Every structure is written in C-alpha cells, then in structure tokens.
Structure 1
Amino acid sequence: MSEDRSLLSDARLRIARRDVASLSREKTIVLALLIQLFVAGFSSFLVVGLTSLYDPGSVATSEVEVAITGDARAELVEASREHPETDVVAFADAEQAQRQFDRGEVDALLRADYQEREESDGRAIGVTATIPEGSIRSTLIVVQIRQLLGTLERQERLDRSFYLDEPPVPQPPEIGASPYFGFTYTVLIPLLLFLPPFISGSVAVDTITEEIERGTLELLRVAPVSLLDIVEGKALGMTVIAPAQALLWIGLLSANGIAVSNVVPIVLFVTAISVIVVAIGLVLGVTMGRRRPAQLLYSVLTLVIFGGAVVLPEHPATTMAKLAVDSPTTLTYAHVGLMAAVAVGGYLVVRRYVRTVEPETL
C-alpha cells in the first residue's frame, strides 16, 4: 500500500514538473511574466513615470499662466498667492482676456462672477474655466487650476464662517505625503503580487482542458494514475508558481530600494489566493472540458469574486498594502487567516468533487 502511495505521490510531482516546464512554450504566459519582471526589476525607475499617471499633480512643476476676469477676480488673485507656480493676470475686459487665450499668450482662462443664491441672502462665486485640449500639458493645467479653485473654496469658507451660528468643523492638518509612496504601496505592490495567482488559475484551466480535448487525460489514467492524482499534480504545479514569483518580485523591489515588510504573511496570503483561484480553474476545467467557455467563465468569476471582496471588512488589496508598509492591524492578520482557511476548504471541496466525477468518462 505504501509503495502504491509513493508511486502516486511521484506521479503528482512528475505531472507538476511537466506542467511547469510546459509554461515556457506558452507565449502569452511568458510575455506576462516578462512584463512583471520588467516592472519589478526597474520599479524605482518606472514608478516616477507611472506616478505621473496615478497623480498628475506630483509632476506639475512648470509655471502656468492664467488670465482671470469677472466680478470676483480679486478673490481668485488672492487665492493664487498660495500657488507660486500659477502666474495669474487679472483683466477688467473679458474680451481682451479671451483674445489673449485665443492667441495662446495664456494657458487658461478663468471667469469668476458673483451669483445670487436663492436659498439665502448671500452670494456665491461661480468660476468658468477654459482649458486648451489635446495635450499632456492640458492635464497639468487642469491639475493646477483645480488646486487654485480648492484654495479659493477654502478661503471663502473661512471668510464666511463668521456668519454661521456654530463654528465650522476644523480642517485636518495637511500631511506632506509623497505620491510615490502611496502609488508604490497601494498600486504597484498589490498589482505585482496579485497577478501571479490569477495567471496560475488561468493556466490551470488550460492544462486540464487541453488534456481532455487532446485525449491525453485517458492515457495518464492508464499509468495507473487516478483523476484525483492528475488534478492534484496540476494544482501543485500551478499553486507553487505564484508564491515563487511573489518572492522574486519582493527581492527585485528590495534591490530597487522599495522595502517590503512582513514577507512571510504576504507569501502566505498570495499562496492562499493562488490555491483558491487554481481550485476554481480546475473545477471549471473538469466540469466544462472545453478551454474557451471554461476560460471565459473563470475570468468572469474571478472578477466578480475580487470585486465582491469590497464587502469584506478589509479588501485584499488593502491587506496587501498594509502588510507591505508594515502597518498591519489585528483585522489584517485575521484576513490572512481567513484566506488561508478558505483555501484549505476550497482544496477539500475540489478533492471531494473530483472523486465524484472520476468514474465518468471525460
């Protein structure tokens, strides 16, 4: 009996090694791995450019010339003093300001007018912004104009607070957080560490459906290897890839000066997610037996499950970011434990399901 189990155990390992080795022939998978490798290996260089898309205001350092007109232009000029990168010019003549904008002598045109408020006796300030379209610089102009208008709103709230019966809620102090820090730990690291599990699940769908469609599954079962051993071997091969990639990406990020804390819980979290999605992929592959419908259903289900994770007390991406930045809470560790428990439960469900379909001809 022990010899039989040893044989079957070796068969699982051989199936896992074969599936992992076959990945080198999958061009799509190799390309995805190379893209992740490039992002992780050159993260400190790429993060500057990527952050400009994530937060354009982080690179909006060039000076912007703005023409201001309207009855409330004095308030806008006052607000612009907090933004030295925004050079404002006030015009009493709106047509003159429009001509300068049309000739490209100014980057933007703001018209600020007082507007009567029907619900109260006071007046509000309405601002109409005209921005040139069709260039990257337009995005930077929009960012700086938005900051200028935010300052105007804050000043108006403070100036009119004296007319309130109760003092307004004080604003929280400004924190000089770096956008690079936020982008790295809330976008880049979760992206790099979540992609491997989902790729593993997709590959698991391909490996089992290809065996069924080509008829090689029956040859494996004659070995003698049961369907459960085949599924477990494929699950093993696809599951270990994700944490292995996660460790590699973490090492490359550290080499680029991006420290990642709590490596063990992170790897455990990635492994648990990998087990869950690989289990989903294998069940769909065994049930449907055809690659295209199984892949389509796998993609839809994983998107629905990942999107539905917002109902959890803590989203998986938040858990990953808090672990990486070394600010985990009790809830964070509980979430890791929950994923591990779900992974174990999913594995047991897959084993039980495969045992029920094993006698059938696929």
Structure 2
Amino acid sequence: MGERLTVAGRELASLRSEKTIVLAILIQLFVAAFSSFLAVGLVSLYDPGSVSDQFVVEFGVTGDAGDDLAPVIEREDGWRAVEYGTEEAAMTDFRQGEIHAVLRVDRLPDGRARVQAVAPDGNVRTTLVVTQIKGVMEAFERHERGRLSSRLERQPVELPPDSSSSPYFGFTYTVLVPLLTFLPVFLSGSVAVDAIAEEFDRGTLELLRVTPLTPTDIVDGKMLAMGALAPVQAGAWLALLSFNGTAIANPVEILVLVTGLSVGVVTMGATVALAFRERKQAQFLFSMGVLVAFSATYLLPESPPNAVAKLAIGSPTRLTHLSVVAYVLVALVAFVGLRRAVAARGLGE
C-alpha cells in the first residue's frame, strides 16, 4: 500500500504545475463560495420570468375580445393592460416604446378566442417579454376554461397545476448542485488520462519499471490520486453551499455516489489511456465516451443528476438509494476488471 500512496502523492504534487487544472478548480471554488450571489444572475438566464417582479410588462390590448383579456392581465402585479380601440393605435405606441407588447384578441364564431401577439425584435427585453406573454396566455386559458366550463359536453385534458415554487430553489438543486458535484468527476477522469498517457509520451514509464513497483501498483497509485480528488472537491463545494445558506440533505450519500462515479470515470480514463497511449487521441475518445455514457444514464429510471437533486433536497425514494448502490457496484466491477487486466498483461512495451 505504501508504494501506491507514493505514486499517488507524486501525481497530486504534479497537479500544481497544471495551470488548466488549477484554474478549473478555482472556478468551481468561486462558484461554490459565492453561489448565493451568482444564483441571482444565473437564474435570470435559467428562468427570465423570475426577475419580472422588478419589471412591469405593459401589454397593449386590442380586438373585439380585449375586454376579456385585460382583467386577466391586471390580476398580476408584474403585468399592466393598456386597452386600445384599434390595432393601429396600439402598434404606434409599441413602435414608440410606450408599451412592451401588443395582444390582439378576436372572438371566433364558435366562441373560441384567437390571440395574436407582437413582441419586440432584437431588444434586450425580448426574452423577458416573450416569457411574460406565455404566462399571459396560460392565465387566459385558465380563465376561459373556467368561464366556459358549464357549456362543456366533455371534460378536456387537465392543465398542469399552477406552480408557485421559487425558481432559485429549482435552479440551485437541479442545476447548481449537480454541476458542482459532477464537474470534479469529469475533471478527475481527464487528469487520469493525462497521467498515464504522458508516461508513454515522455518515456518515463521505463523509469517506473525498474523500481520495485508492479504495473498494478503504478495504475492503482495514479487512479487513487485522481479518484480521491473528486469526492474531496465535491465535499468542499457542498460545505461552501451550506455555509452560504443552501441546505444540503444527505451529504454523505451524495459523496458516496460521487466517489463511485469518480472510480468509474477514472477507470474509463485509465483504460482508454492504456489502450491508445497517445494523449490527444486518448483524451478525445475519453471525452466522447463520457459524453455517451452520461447521456445514456438519462434513459435509466434514476439518472445521477436526478439522484443528487433528490438527495440534496431531502426527498430521495427507494429507487434513489438503489440507484446509488447500483452506480457504485458498476464502478467497482469496472475497477476490478481493469486491475486484473493490468496484472495479467502488464503495461505493455
């Protein structure tokens, strides 16, 4: 075990000279340390409608059914309806910037309402306005369903329930936490590819062969260093998130999952590096392999990001716990398989 720790220490010490790796870790550290501040700006990109409380959207309403839509708009604090007698008058104010969008509502002969929306083109507010138009249409649909419910002969498909949850909550637990826990895993796998491929490129593998180290000791030491890097980083990021007010439930189980995935990804990186040896080719194949493997997990009943989100929120199911065990077991099987292959074949010439 001492030989493996020596190799692992050598690999960790060499990381300090890798500026790209150090920069990537510092970026993750910055995101985790200042997550409460960054979330405000990031959520505005993730969900533009979340900033509408600070921005009142003024809709120009026209058409023969405009009187039905205007009250729906006025119910919301972030919306204001400005009624116009003609579409031309509404468009004039729209072009002059007096209103943000124009909604023309016409009642069809069968009683249905047809809405034509005009939004700004190429304006910095375009995304927000379009998002709010979608919200207006959803509110108007609910209003029309309620108003005409007594005339229905058949019950239509139910609308999804109104969600009043904070977009900050959704962004933090479904995007930010999985991002900070899985980035170190992918980083560790990439470093593992470099750590092994560069031994072949530089010819330093011959120096290791003349030492008492066996091929298994060499591979184990390198994988130990890279595999331990991810859970240590993930633990630090979770601690920083908690310090910033983002409560993380089940941190131990999250770290177990991260450790298992780290073992699996590092094993994949080491396998590719041993098979192809050339650094650029190995890195490309590793990147494509990780992308395909990670995307394929979304076909499973519980993908790793979903598992981490449920664990962090504190609402894991039995399937979540079983998925964690399954991912760890698969990673261990892959690791044992690689060790046996190295013990049987060595590191090659």
* TM-score (normalised: structure 1): 0.92
Cα RMSD between the aligned structures?
Answer: 1.6
Q: In the alignment, which residue of structure 2 is the partner of 1:6?
A: none
TM superposition shift of 1:59: 0.9
Task: Extract unaligned runs of 5+ from structure 2.
Answer: none
Q: Using the alignment, how far apart are the partners of 1:271 and 1:132 within structure 2?
A: 48
1:163-217 per-position Cα deviation (integer Å, ceiling 9, x unaligned): 2224456656544311111111111111000111110000000010000011001
Q: In the alignment, which residue of structure 1 is the partner of 2:40?
A: 48
Task: Extract unaligned runs of 5+ from structure 1.
Answer: 1-8, 117-121
Q: Which shifted more, 139-148 or 323-332?
A: 139-148
Q: Using the alignment, how far apart are the partners of 2:123 and 2:24 within structure 1?
A: 30
TM superposition shift of 1:28: 1.1
Q: In the alignment, which residue of structure 1 is the partner of 2:26?
A: 34
Which amino acid counterpart does residue 307 of structure 1 have in structure 2?
A: S
> How many corresponding residue pairs?
348
- 1:278 and 2:275 matched: no
Q: In the alignment, which residue of structure 1 is the partner of 2:183?
A: 195
Which amino acid counterpart does residue 210 of structure 1 have in structure 2?
A: E
Q: Which shifted more, 37-46 or 157-166?
A: 157-166
Cα pair 2:274 2:347 within 8 Å, conserved? no
Candidates 193, 197, 211, aligned match of 1:209? 197
- 1:57 and 2:57 matched: no
1:266-297 per-position Cα deviation (integer Å, ceiling 9, x unaligned): 11100000000000000000000011111111
Cα pair 1:66 1:89 within 8 Å, conserved? yes
Q: Using the alignment, how far apart are the partners of 1:149 and 1:48 within structure 2?
A: 26
Q: Which shifted more, 83-92 or 286-295?
A: 83-92
TM superposition shift of 1:339: 1.1
Identity %: 48
Q: Which shifted more, 74-83 or 47-56?
A: 74-83
Q: Using the alignment, how far apart are the partners of 1:135 and 1:189 within structure 2?
A: 32
TM superposition shift of 1:223: 0.7
Q: Superposed, which structure 2 residues align to 1:245-256 within 5 Å?
A: 245-256=233-244
Q: Using the alignment, how far apart are the partners of 1:80 and 1:106 within structure 2?
A: 14
Change in 2 beyond 3 A, CA 1:161/1:359: closer
TM superposition shift of 1:51: 1.1
Candidates 78, 87, 95, aligned match of 2:80? 87
Q: In the alignment, which residue of structure 2 is the partner of 1:103?
A: 96
Cα pair 2:59 2:82 within 8 Å, conserved? yes
- 1:221 and 2:209 matched: yes
Q: Using the alignment, how far apart are the partners of 2:226 and 2:345 within structure 1?
A: 22
- 1:112 and 2:112 matched: no
Q: Which shifted more, 230-239 or 322-331?
A: 322-331
Q: In the alignment, which residue of structure 1 is the partner of 2:63?
A: 70
Which amino acid counterpart does residue 48 of structure 2 have in structure 1?
A: P
Q: Using the alignment, how far apart are the partners of 1:167 and 1:127 within structure 2?
A: 23
Q: Using the alignment, how far apart are the partners of 1:197 and 1:84 within structure 2?
A: 44
Candidates 288, 291, 299, aligned match of 1:300? 288
TM superposition shift of 1:247: 1.1
Change in 2 beyond 3 A, CA 1:150/1:171: closer
Q: In the alignment, which residue of structure 2 is the partner of 1:240?
A: 228
Cα pair 1:83 1:148 within 8 Å, conserved? no
Q: In the alignment, which residue of structure 2 is the partner of 1:25?
A: 17
Q: Which shifted more, 39-48 or 102-111?
A: 102-111
Cα pair 1:52 1:58 within 8 Å, conserved? yes
Q: Using the alignment, how far apart are the partners of 2:282 and 2:347 within structure 1?
A: 21
Cα pair 1:66 1:107 within 8 Å, conserved? yes
Change in 2 beyond 3 A, CA 1:313/1:57: same
Q: Which shifted more, 82-91 or 342-351?
A: 82-91
Q: Using the alignment, how far apart are the partners of 1:46 and 1:211 within structure 2?
A: 40
Which amino acid counterpart does residue 269 of structure 1 have in structure 2?
A: L
Cα pair 1:70 1:112 within 8 Å, conserved? yes
Aligned to 2:112, the other structure's residue is in SS state strand
Aligned to 2:121, the other structure's residue is in SS state coil
Q: Using the alignment, how far apart are the partners of 1:319 and 1:272 within structure 2?
A: 13
Change in 2 beyond 3 A, CA 1:84/1:326: closer
Which amino acid counterpart does residue 104 of structure 1 have in structure 2?
A: G
Q: Using the alignment, how far apart are the partners of 1:302 and 1:349 within structure 2?
A: 18
Cα pair 2:178 2:309 within 8 Å, conserved? yes
Which amino acid counterpart does residue 39 of structure 2 have in structure 1?
A: V
Cα pair 1:161 1:168 within 8 Å, conserved? no
Q: In the alignment, which residue of structure 1 is the partner of 2:169?
A: 181
Cα pair 2:192 2:266 within 8 Å, conserved? yes
